[in-house]
Amino acid sequence: MKKIISWAIIIYVLYCIGMAWYLFSFADSSIPAEWKGTTADPATFLTPREQVLSEQYSQWKNFLFFVSVPYDWLAYLAVLWLGVAKALQTWSEKATKSFVVQAAFYVFWLSIIMSVLTLPFDFISYRISRAYGVSTQSVFSWMRDETTDFLVNTVMLFLLVVVLYGLIRRFEKRWWLYAWMVSVPFTIFFMFIQPVVIDPLYNNFYPLKDKVLEAKILALAEKADIPSDHVFEVNMSEKTNALNAYVTGIGSHARIVLWDTTLQRLQEKEVLFIMAHEMGHYVMKHVYWGVASYIVLTFAGLFVAGRVMNWLIRRWGEYFHLHKISALASLPLFLLVISVLNFSVSPVVNMVSRYEEHAADEYAIKLTKDADAAISSFQKLTKEGLNQVNPPIIVKIFRYTHPSILERIVFLERIKRGD
């Protein structure tokens, strides 16, 4: 056991060193020569200091992402290897005979342990964002959001455990299929209530305050056949200087949300382009396609997870203090396997997302016919969020759900040229 833990730590440290070398010394984020001096070149819209800050900030955030993912895996393994998962199960079984109460006890304490283990990375990420001026959030506000995350995630995990392990205990071989069948209506229901139940726990949402701009946005929405009551503003300026907008929800709760920072720092034409982009997602029903894709991936994920967990328990059960998948002590193993699977498919998921984002850009430029406003909006998104214009390939593959700023501006430049 000591050898396994020692080797796991050594491999992780070497991996961190390798990622640091790649991101801070080797990776090339320069602009191709043919686009030097154009609107896609950060030297044309960022000051020299902003270029340095953008590069440094992106490097640190990317590094934290790539080292925190396997760190989470090690944390789950440690909980298993050190017998913590088994101890939590024993305590919960001694405390009550009710499976539901046992699950509540187990999930709460496992969530506490994992939150404590991962808190350093979360806090470092927050401090970096504050240090570079991207985050404006106070420590108290950040802690409040972290607490809200903990409560929401714990409740969701509790519901998952009660249903999942109830099915595992009743259907030993086909539990993954029944679990997937239950997940379908739950996923749809969650997407339906998220904008009106979950999101307001973090921020205040309200109709657009600028009525003149609202009238123009609603006129644009009318062209796209989008209901006027589906456009909202959110007070993100209390937490960040970054700019953003997004589409969320399904059915009557579907809505387009604009950050107030976007409304405050972009000109009217730029806001209209951003709005048209989000309308493109709405019109092309990307949220619905996303839900459908998630349901398909859940089917495959549960199928694979069941088989991988059974194999791991047969092969390493003694080290994990596990003998069967139906034990509550197997929950960290389940979460570990799901996390690894999610990371494994993220390049494909991100690629599909980038395709949808590009399609939304195409829709927006056709609707607004204003490439200059689109270009300047992307430049300001980069400036305020300190984003890399041309991220390293590994970063793009694993982190970018949108095309890079370079790709987006180049696309618009080619439209202007008539290419």
Residue 388, judged by CB atoms within 10 A of its CB (0-12, 13-18, 19+), counts as buried
Q: Is 277 annotated as a binding residue?
A: yes
Q: Is 321 annotated as a binding residue?
A: no
- Catalytic site positions: 278, 361
Kindly state the DSSP code that residue 224 receives in the 8-state scheme.
Answer: T
Residue 264, judged by CB atoms within 10 A of its CB (0-12, 13-18, 19+), counts as exposed
β-bridge partners, 206? 233
Q: Is 402 annotated as a binding residue?
A: no
Token pair listed for 153: 């995630």
List the helix and strand counts (H, then E) for the chain. Answer: 14, 4
Q: Please, what sign has the CA dihedral across residues 67, 70, 76, 77?
A: negative
Q: Please report, as a single letter, which amino acid is at residue 37.
A: G
Token pair listed for 112: 């506490």
Helix 331-368 to helix 84-95 angle (10° resolution) is 100
Q: Please, what sign has the CA dihedral across residues 125, 131, 135, 141?
A: positive
> Which residues are CB-neighbours of 246 under 8 A, at least 6 positions away?
256, 257, 278
Annotated binding-site positions for Zn(2+): 277, 281, 357
Annotated binding-site positions: 277, 281, 357
